[in-house]
Amino acid sequence: MKGLRIIEIGLLLLVLAGAAVLRFYDLDYRVMHGDEANQAMKTGVLLETGEYAYDPYEHHGPTLYYLTLPVLWAGGVTSKVEMGETAIRLVPAAFGLGLVLLSWLILSPIDRRAALLGALLVGLSHGLVYYSRYYIQETLFVFFAAGLVWCGFHYPRSRRIGWALAAGAFLGLLHATKETGVLVVVAMLGALVASWFLDWIAGGGVGTARQLRRENSGEKPAPHSWFVGLNFQHLAAALGMALAVSVLFFSSFFTHARGPLDSILTYTTYLGRAEGHGSSGLHEHPWYYYLWLLGYYYREAGPRWSEGLILGLALVGGITCTWRPLGMRRAHSSSDGDYYCSTVYTPDLIFLQRFLLTYTLFLLVGFSIIPYKTPWNLLIFLHPLCLLAGLGAWRLLGASRAVWWRAAVALVLAAGCIQLAGQTWRGIFTYGADVRNPYVYAHTSSAIRRLTDRVDGIEAVHPRGEQLHINVFRPGGDYWPLPWYFRAYPNVGYWPNLPENCDADIILASPETAPAVQSRLKNEYHVEMHGLRPGVLMPTFIRKDLWDAFMAGRTTD
């Protein structure tokens, strides 16, 4: 028995090590997405000034910014110029790795082998890995939701206030991370009611209850006790903790009094966004959009993408959660000193499995019917899908005692995991910013590095160096992530409208504004074309004398 535990721990460490490689290796390989750059610049302002004020119209909650500060301080970073992609992406990557461990912790009370498989699928999932390397709130959001599930499961089992307070802290962090946290909480409450209803049906002698009674003749399933004897003082303490954590972050650590109020008023803005009002209409997609990304994605030439293994195993896990949930294996010592295991069905473990199923369904349906969709929004239900898939994989392995069956299932699972790992590796490196990747969405073109190299080259021959003057004329604020890449240059102007004098050392325009810009220029310029995103061009004007000096230097080299 002790040897078995050591093997399980060794396998868990192996899963964590593999997940760490996928999440931490070469974090600055991919160019910055516009949303990442936007978040990074807000973190930079917080780092330099210590100031942050929640914006109820754009962006999300402040946890990402504040939780990045310790990483930057540890690295001796004091300004946004010193910040690098690797430093800031360490934060979501760490939470992504933590999510793998948390997955094991959630499932291990049910079955440690199923927990290992669930953690493995979380560790390999293309979507979960890709956005663990992305400086946005999503991975933190999923981690806090999973933490709430974990603590919410353990509190009723122990009735200890520590679990209640921890659940409250996760709830507060969830709210302080993304506004859609309220949808997650609604899904959890709906899943609690639905699971209780399923329990009630089973307890009434229908389906599962009859099977359990047959298999455990000495231990009949008892009515579930989650809602029996609730300690309202603990409940109040948990809600108080959630409120305190939320207020702490939204008030910018008690320096911005209006923040907590804005965190409530913001839902009027997000309600309109969910319905596709304004620019949000650009992100309207059909109801099956998320299933399309996960099931089978193919765009012109290039690889075909699928996380069908997770979907298929989750389906098996979901069906068995309803029909025949997994039990808890308990070790016993025999009279001759040996150990043996038996399966014990306990109501709370059955309830947890049904909760995971109904919680996933509520999230999947809820986020699918909202017209506003972006690929990273699927993470919130992709994670519990992986947990269900872990349960389904173990159920398949245990469906028969025949060696040939277990060997065949193990081979299929191994092949599927190899496919997931290879796909994830291609997704984060070879196709990290390629539109043929299902998770690449309105992403910056890798060609942005050619532009930044050009600006750095002009800066090298400019008499005032980094004090050179850059004008950016792109309507509608469509210039991100340029502020991130130009953060070392203090004289950059981002213009919503064209001024009479457009001249500068370097001018970046849109194809629509370029003719008007050119007509207002007084100096002579070299003109070349750069790309912001695939299909989004950026005519670039470089003052002729600087261009000549730059070319002369290249000729000399």
Query: How confident is the model over 489-512, as pLDDT tens digits?
Result: 999 999 988 998 999 999 999 999
- Whether 209 contacts 203, CB under 8 Å: yes
What pTM did the predictor assign?
Answer: 0.91
* pLDDT, tens digit, 9 for 90 and up, residues 430-445: 999 999 999 999 999 9
**Does residue 177 or residue 270 have the better pLDDT?**
177
Q: Is the pLDDT of residue 340 over 80?
A: no
Task: Judge if the upstream peptide bond of residue 490 is cis by omega within 30 degrees of 0.
Answer: no
pLDDT in tens, 120-148: 999 999 999 999 999 999 999 999 999 99
- State how far the Cα of 527 lies from the Cα of 514, in Å rounded to an integer: 10
Q: What pLDDT was estimated at residue 556?
A: 60
Task: Give the total residue count for the chain.
Answer: 557
Residue 525 has φ and ψ, to the nearest 5°, of -130, 150
CA distance 64 to 139: 10
CA distance 21 to 13: 12
